[in-house]
Amino acid sequence: MADQPGTDTAGVGSGSLQPTQSPGFVHRVREGWRTLAFGRVAYLLESGVAKVGLGIVLFWVIIAILAPVLAPYPPNDTTGAFKAPPSPAHIMGTDLLGRDVLSRLLYGSRPILVLAPLSVLCAVAAGIVLGLTSGYFGGRVDDVIMRLLDALMAFPTLLLYMVIIAAVGASALNVIIAIAFGGTPGIARVVRSLVLDVRNREFVQAARLRGESPFYIMFREILPNCMGPVVVDACLRIGYAAFAIGTLGFLGLGMPPPDPDWGRMVAEGRQHITSGPWMVIFPSLAISSLVVGLNLFADGISESSHRI
């Protein structure tokens, strides 16, 4: 993303540094994002990969919104037909407790579509703060923050999720905390590398000479010039977060029962895959299609960032 200096440095060295008339911070960020967004939308509309990914994601978003209308039965109600194969009454069959698989599949799309973006958003917020602080101040501050993040990254990601949720309990909030905790180090490293490139540019030096605070310089001068790559990285991470949520559900560390969870639906039916394969196939296909759709759409955004 091109530099968007918030100050006019023409007066540097003239004896007095007076702020010149320049667009406000909100205006500069809005105009920069408008230009970036229009360019990416134009490319995405031409990208077949991005269209396919966006179509899959929108399909599941619509399913999640209309779940109460589309579901033939309440997701947790027992219908009386235990482990019944697909039929006109139960299009995707029923599970071991007689609950309609289609209804649980529709309602199960809701938590994964909410938790994945929220967890990535929390990780981005924490990563931006740590990355800005580490990259701007450098020295001992940088060493301390980076060593702590390196220690977190030394753990296998899935193991880290399991340890956190096992310690605090399985719930929607704790899933968000675990995935955000595991994703923060990678995002912080991305932000730090961008800050190291921007912090010594002319408009940042001018802000220092004007006597602006480090907080002002980090969040109003440096951050707007780093957000493009951070947004692309965040979009890629949403697909990974969705897969992680499905994996945690399979391990019994996702949404607490009896609420529908795609991963737990697979886990509940895996021991009966030969006698009731529909209990595993349909939720597995749902997880796979959503993750593929998110990754295809993120790939389209990543490609567009190199063409703008």
In degrees and rounded to multiples of 5, residue 171 shows phi and psi of: -165, 165
What distances in angstroms separate CA 235 from CA 119, 180, 200, one per listed residue?
12, 14, 28
Q: Is the pLDDT of residue 167 over 90?
A: no
Q: Is the pLDDT of residue 11 over 50?
A: no
Whether the CB-CB separation of 124 and 187 falls below 8 Å is answered with yes
**Cβ–Cβ < 8 Å for 86, 278:** yes
Taking the C-alpha atoms of residue 292 and residue 239, their distance in angstroms, rounded to an integer, is 8
Helices and strands, counts by H and E, the chain? 12, 0
| CA 101 – CA 75 distance, rounded (Å) | 8
CA distance 307 to 239: 22
Q: What's the pLDDT at 91?
A: 93
Domain 24-70+93-305: CATH superfamily is MetI-like (1.10.3720.10)
Percent of the chain with pLDDT over 90: 46
Print the SS3 string covering 99-130.
CEHHHHHHHHHHHHHHHHHHHHHHHHHHHHHH
Distance between CA atoms of residues 271 and 266, nearest Å: 9
What band does 20 get if pLDDT is binned at 50, 70 and 90?
very low
pLDDT digits (tens, 9 = 90+) for 172-211: 899 999 999 999 999 999 999 999 988 888 888 898 888 8
Q: What whole-number distance in Å separates Cα of residue 265 and Cα of residue 95?
A: 9
One-letter amino acid of 229: P
3-state secondary structure of 220: helix
Q: Which of 33-37, 86-90, 108-112, 190-194 has the weakest average pLDDT? A: 33-37
| Rounded CA separation 83/275 (Å) | 9
Token pair, residue 118, equals: 């929220």
Is the model's pLDDT at 101 over the cut of 90? yes
Q: Which residues contact 39 (CB under 8 A, 6 or more apart)?
A: 304, 307, 308
Q: What angle do CA 174, 176, 178 make, to 5 degrees?
A: 70
For residue 269, pLDDT beyond 80: yes
Q: Which pair of structure tokens corresponds to residue 155? A: 């753990």
SS3 content of the chain, % helix, strand, coil (to 5): 70, 0, 30
DSSP conformation class of 117: H
pTM score, whole prediction = 0.80
- Arithmetic mean of pLDDT, 47-51: 77
Supply the pLDDT for residue 46: 65
C-alpha 283/C-alpha 262 separation (Å) is 5
100: β partners:
94
pLDDT of residue 22: 43
Regarding predicted confidence, which is higher, 291 or 28?
Answer: 291
Mean pLDDT value across residues 294-298? 87
Domain ranges (residues) in the chain = 24-70+93-305
Q: Which percentage of the chain shows pLDDT scores above 70?
A: 83
109-146 exposure pattern, b = at least 16 Cβ within 10 A, e = fewer? bbbbbebbbbbbebbbebbbebbbbbbbeeeeebeebb
Instruction: Tell me the backbone φ, ψ of residue 100, rounded to 5 degrees.
Output: -70, 120
Mean pLDDT is highest, among 25-29, 108-112, 254-258, for 108-112
Q: Which residue has the higher pLDDT, 126 or 16?
A: 126
| Helix runs in 138-226, H state only | 139-153, 157-168, 172-198, 202-209, 214-216
Average pLDDT over residues 216-237: 87
Q: Give residue 3's pLDDT band: very low, low, confident or very high (50, 70, 90).
A: very low
